[in-house]
Amino acid sequence: MAPFKSSIPDVPIPVTDTYSFIFESKLPATLPPRRDQIALIDAATDQRVTYGELVHRIHRFAAGVRYKLGLNKWEVVGVFSPNQVDYPTVVFGALKAGCTVTLANPTYTADELAYQLTDAGAKILITCAPLLPVATAAAAKAGIAADKIFIFGREQVQGKKTIYDIFSCEYLAPIQFTKEELLNKPAYLCYSSGTTGRSKGVETTHYNMVANVAQLDAYYVHSNQYRPNDVWTGVLPFYHIYGLNLSLHTCFYAGISLVVFQKFDLVAYLEALQKYRVTYTHIVPPIILGLAKHPIVDKYDLSSLRMILSGAAPLSGDVSRAASARLKCSVLQGYGMTESSPVTHVGVEGKTPDGAIGVLVPNVEARLVDPDTGEDCAVNQPGELWVRGPNIMKGYHNNDEATRNTIDAEGWLHTGDIAYADKNGFFFIVDRLKELIKYKGFQVPPAELEGYLLTHPAIADAAVISRPDESAGELPRAYVVLKPGAKATEQEVQKFIEGKVAQHKRLRGGVAFVDEIPKAASGKILRRVLRDMDKEAMKREAAAGKAKL
């Protein structure tokens, strides 16, 4: 069977560096009218930065990186901070100086950060004042000198210089890159979530990032989603590839204004949507769940909001419909991975079926492969999703074995996700290959059960994992968060699910009620954490059983 291809025509992918592509190719940021347009708005302070000002700051930071700090081509700049208005100055400034950038999760411990900095080979670290204790401890472990730690902002703290102290007025000639470098050397080292062990550095080349921005731009143009005076949100964490690409690359390439949030707070988010007349927001399912169900949403005028794009984790059709109906705007879902820079699929307004992740973006092809036989699957038949295209990573940093286990000899990235495609080319994610529950040999997709659980009137959030069972192999077990003031029993929830699914998908492993579902910053459920919680629960249950004897 021939690979699936995009319904959107392929586009040329230039072999150029990321900075030049974003700021100098489509709409030069140093020339009117783009120069005077607002690029960034701080949601907390209302500080505004035009495209002309942003590019000026990028140039001065890049010159300082080369002339004051003495960093050479492909040396690594580490960034450890929540979102900041000056975040793109550092990111694009480092790229313009010819460096590689590694972006770290601001919730990391010192040991986690030290591991990433060491693995990436970072030479300097940019952080923020509140994170200095963690950053300082991690830098020491990673061999980064104390005077190579800098902070966001304009005021020095604890003797640490700011990014503005790096700025230089010296002229920096454009860094020259060879074609081989652009195709093979990492612009970014984003680290995967590490839910299955040590996190891995994903080598995203300049060509990978340029390709995915060009692919997304073609999608937006083809589906007529750009509008004059568009305003997007930068609420996704910039260290994560979803926020890094959509908020800091695709948004700037299109010359759109971005409202930046240091952290997510529902009230602050709603206030900003109303105040800045936001038209398009890229978010994750937990935020959409709040938009669909939280009563405070009704207090705000969100009439400017035209589109919501969800990514990073599965979004149920019920939540999507509820949010769309309440906000009177379109809710689409996309799909991708850090390893694909990240977007491979995205929804089409007015055409995408409920629950679908959309169609392939241009220049990407896909296969659906039966995990047991290795044969390609027919339409509407689930199999592991494989993708191939110019946006697929070079590989995992310092980990050739993991690269070989993920990208085969023909260039196919094995996503580990189970999906199917309908006759119109719309793809649906069934579940993660490694997360499928096997009950007496029958496959039970946790995401399907989670989707049903979220339709229960008393349930605010839910996650399903497997519980080992001697006779059945594995049993589906639900962890549930109830809405404030709501009540439900384990038996009630089990009976609710029984009326919606086949017998092998029933919650035979039981239902546990918790205060919150553990999730990564991207919105993905941390099933590893839930499994650890469940192991402890099983020990307590076993001890209680022995005590009764």
Q: Any idea where the domains of the chain sit in the sequence?
A: 17-420, 437-548
Whether the per-residue pLDDT at 546 is higher than 90: the answer is: no
Each residue's pLDDT tens digit, 207-245: 999 999 999 999 999 998 898 899 999 999 999 999 999
3-class secondary structure, 193: coil
**pLDDT value of residue 428:** 94
The share of the chain scoring above pLDDT 90, in percent, equals 80
Q: Check residue 375 and report its DSSP letter.
A: P
> Which amino acid appears at position 480 of this protein?
V
Yes or no: say if 341 and 393 are a contact pair by the CB < 8 Å rule: yes
Report the alpha-carbon angle 329-333-336, nearest 5: 150
Please state, rounded to an integer, the average pLDDT across all residues of the chain: 93
Yes or no: say if 83 and 260 are a contact pair by the CB < 8 Å rule: yes
Whether the per-residue pLDDT at 507 is higher than 70: the answer is: yes
Please report, for residues 7, 29, 162, 365, the alpha-carbon distance to residue 412 in angstroms, rounded to integers and kept in the order given.
Answer: 20, 36, 43, 9
Q: Check residue 407 and report its DSSP letter.
A: B
Whether the per-residue pLDDT at 270 is higher than 70: the answer is: yes
**pLDDT value of residue 547:** 56
Alpha carbon distance 342, 362 (integer Å): 13
Whether the per-residue pLDDT at 195 is higher than 50: the answer is: no
The domain at 437-548 falls in which architecture? 2-Layer Sandwich (3.30)
Yes or no: say if 292 and 323 are a contact pair by the CB < 8 Å rule: yes
Please report, for residues 58, 169, 377, the alpha-carbon distance to residue 423 in angstroms, rounded to integers and kept in the order given.
Answer: 47, 58, 13
CATH number, domain 17-420, options 3.40.50.150, 3.30.1780.10, 3.40.190.10, 3.40.50.12780: 3.40.50.12780
**pLDDT value of residue 167:** 98
Residue 197's pLDDT band (cuts 50, 70, 90): very low
What average pLDDT score do residues 40-59 get? Answer: 98
301 by Cβ neighbours in 10 Å (0-12 / 13-18 / 19+) ranks as exposed
Query: What are residue 243's phi and psi, to 5 degrees?
Result: -70, -40
> Which amino acid appears at position 241 of this protein?
I
Q: Which two tokens stand for residue 296?
A: 């405070």
Each residue's pLDDT tens digit, 134-176: 999 999 999 999 999 999 999 999 999 999 999 999 999 999 9
Alpha carbon distance 523, 521 (integer Å): 5
